[in-house]
Amino acid sequence: MSDKKAHLEIDGIEGKIELPVYSGTLGPDVVDVRGLTAKGLFTYDPGFVSTAACESSITFIGGAKGILLHRGYPIEQLAEQSDHLETCYLLLFGELPNKAEKEAFISKVNAQRTVDNSIASLVKSFDRGAHPMSILCSATAALAGLYHKSLDITNNEHRVEAAINLIAKMPTLTAMCYRHSQGMDFITPNDDLDYAANFLYMMSGKTPSKTAAHAMDVVFLLHADHEQNASTSTVRLSGSSGTNPYAAIAAGIATLWGPSHGGANEAVLNMLNEIGDVSRIDEYVAKAKDKSDPFRLMGFGHRVYKNFDPRSRVMKKCCDEVLAELGNNNDPLLAMAKKLEVIALEDSYFVEKKLYPNVDFYSGILLKSLGIPVELFTCIFATGRTPGWISHWHEMLSEPYKIGRPRQLYKGAVKRDFVKLEDR
Ligand code: SDX
């Protein structure tokens, strides 16, 4: 795979350790450290900041220049010229579909939109005040109970069927979470509407405007995949045990829920509401900079993007269009968000630490303008991200793979003998 080598000299170990270095089509080279185990060594990388955990051909992120490619296509072009379901096809199969392939894929997804009554009853069994992510996570895992027996994960066709099933059902489950929280009946999917329009229809019972449906589709598309982020890595790790894909996606949903990850869009809105007024922004920026204060500016910063998140630029444009159509261009939250962005982009703390608005910063304001309640934001993120999760799962299972099993730097007690209760 490579004639490049890394040469490692370690105190206390004789001679040099030679490690292969591999180059991808884009991005940094990687050092294959597997040879260290034979030398009685592990690498140490808490949070996997410097670890390439797998090979993948699905998505490339260039953090320094704000680049995001899905199968080589820039996110800006996909957001401008494609749509969410076409992007799902691209992520899953590696190429853009032709007309016939696209129509066949859409009809397969449409055929799987409805949810079994047992799952509907499960959703209804939750307290109406339950957080929708707890319901979505449980309902997705419950799908494993329905489809486990008919699913052979070593079979390519079965894997693709499960992928289409999950992509199809997520909007329906998310809409059901919302309707249940409002004590309203569930609305069955409307096959006359496309993916995003149907989602908004299942939320409200009304056919959305073209602008709203397009904005919703862009939100799903912008969230579709993002390389080896925490939730995708969770799906890969759980999938590597050979578990059911619905269970692996439920694990991804659980990971996404955290405010440092997909929960940030909900946290952005809660933060803006807590700030309450433009006049208090400086106070909160100071809190974000204060090391002794756990407060962070939600929607800012990213492990990979150290320049700008290309998705947040597209999201901001979409946000402006929807607010203009709704006549809410002077939405106080949007005014606060724009002021916060300007301050953060000029303040030396954020500039030096390369903290820029990420995908979650504007998505919350856009979703709020579409009438989506804040607690449902992360379910929308999960719905958008499902094609990415399941494409990584499918990619991993399409090649030989090993169960993921990291090691550790042990800092606990050395061996000692048990002490009887009477002697303690
Ligand atoms: C997503 O990985 C992905 O691709 C994720 C995602 C996807 O599509 O899957 O892009 C989606 O999760 C976007 C991120 C959403 N999260 C937030 O908006 C929450 C706020 N952001 C932070 O929690 C943070 O920026 C992270 C979690 C996003 C990134 O954290 P890192 O890479 O571990 O960086 P860090 O915590 O080591 O921070 C580096 C420095 C620290 O200061 P020092 O210790 O160096 O002095 O920057 C500071 C941090 O205190 N910092 C912030 C900050 N984020 C980092 N200070 C104030 N506010 C912030 N938001």
Tell whether ligand 1 has an atom less than 6 A from the beta carbon of residue 210.
no
Q: How far is the CA of 263 from the centre of ligand 1 (A)?
A: 13
pLDDT of 333 reads 84
- Please pick, among 84, 223, 226, 302, the residue that the annotation labels catalytic: 302
- Please pick, among 158, 261, 331, 347, the residue that the annotation labels catalytic: 261
Residue 244 has pLDDT above 70, yes or no: yes
Take atom 4 of ligand 1 and give the residue whose Cα is closest: 229
Spatial neighbors of 313 by CB under 8 A, at least 6 apart, are 76
Of 61, 260, 290, 359, the one to substitute when testing ligand 1's pocket (max ligand atoms within 8 A of C-beta) is: 260
DSSP label at residue 415: P
Residue 392 phi/psi, 5-degree rounding, is -70, -40
| Rounded-to-10 torsion of CA 304, 310, 312, 314 | -160
Residue 63 phi/psi, 5-degree rounding, is -65, -35
Of 49, 353, 365, the one to substitute when testing ligand 1's pocket (max ligand atoms within 8 A of C-beta) is: 353
Residue 204 has pLDDT above 90, yes or no: yes
- Please pick, among 70, 309, 360, 394, the residue that the annotation labels catalytic: 360
Per-residue H/E/C for 342-374: HHHHHCHHHHHCCCCECHHHHHHHHHHHCCCCH
Take atom 31 of ligand 1 and give the residue whose Cα is closest: 303
Q: Quick one: average pLDDT of 364-379?
A: 92
Nearest to 59 by CA among 47, 48, 74, 49: 74
Residue 230 has pLDDT above 60, yes or no: yes
Cα 393 to Cα 41, 84, 238, distances in angstroms: 29, 19, 9
What is the pTM (predicted TM-score) of this model? 0.94
Rounded to whole angstroms, the Cα distance separating 53 from 71 reads 19
Residue 84 is a catalytic residue: no
pLDDT of 28 reads 97
What band does 103 get if pLDDT is binned at 50, 70 and 90? very high
Residue 30 has pLDDT above 80, yes or no: yes
Residue 148 has pLDDT above 60, yes or no: yes
120-124, 189-193, 324-328: segment of lowest average pLDDT: 324-328
Containing H/E element for 209?
none
pLDDT of 156 reads 97
Residue 98 has pLDDT above 70, yes or no: yes
Give the position, in ligand 1's atom list, of the atom nearest the Cα of 309: 10
Nearest to 160 by CA among 391, 332, 367, 385: 391
Percent of the chain with pLDDT over 90: 85
Rounded to whole angstroms, the Cα distance separating 71 from 92 reads 10
Give the position, in ligand 1's atom list, of the atom nearest the Cα of 361: 18
Q: Quick one: average pLDDT of 281-299?
A: 94
Structural domains in the chain?
4-62 (2.20.28.60), 73-408 (1.10.580.10)
What residues pair up with 300 in beta bridges, in sequence order?
357
Nearest to 230 by CA among 75, 381, 351: 381
Residue 322 has pLDDT above 70, yes or no: yes
pLDDT of 325 reads 84
Amino acid at 391: S
Q: Quick one: average pLDDT of 81-96?
A: 98
pLDDT of 323 reads 85
Tell whether ligand 1 has an atom less than 6 A from the beta carbon of residue 303.
yes
Residue 1 has pLDDT above 60, yes or no: no
Q: How far is the CA of 69 from the centre of ligand 1 (A)?
A: 21
Q: How far is the CA of 304 from the centre of ligand 1 (A)?
A: 9
What band does 421 get if pLDDT is binned at 50, 70 and 90? very high
Residue 293 is a catalytic residue: no
pLDDT of 150 reads 86
Residue 180 is a catalytic residue: no
